[in-house]
């Protein structure tokens, strides 16, 4: 079963961005996060949606 959420560093690695850019995406609302205690998690769904949006933008250009 695929995980529903990832640690931020794993989500950033999955889309090929560094930590700074990854947190910029979170702060811009491009990636959805939630907390479990003190741990932040990024939803796998938002990672997939971000990649899909980027592909659509590339195809439209």
Please list, in sequence order, all residues whose beta carbon lies within 8 angstroms of the beta carbon of residue 16, skipping any fewer than 6 positions away: none
Number of domains making up the chain: 1
Q: Which residue in 49, 43, 50 sits closest to 5, CA to CA?
A: 43
Q: Is the pTM of this model over 0.85?
A: yes
pLDDT tens digits for range 8-61 = 999 999 999 999 999 999 999 999 999 999 999 999 999 999 999 999 999 987
Cβ-count burial of 23 within 10 angstroms (0-12 exposed, 13-18 middle, 19+ buried)? middle
Note down the domain range covering 53. Answer: 5-60
């Amino acid at each position: 079963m695929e995980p529903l959420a990832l640690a931020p560093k794993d989500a950033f690695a999955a889309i090929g961005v560094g930590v700074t850019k990854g947190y910029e995406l979170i702060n811009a609302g491009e990636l959805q996060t939630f907390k479990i205690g003190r741990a932040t998690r990024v939803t796998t769904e938002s990672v997939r949606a971000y990649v899909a949006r980027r592909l659509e933008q590339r195809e439209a250009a």
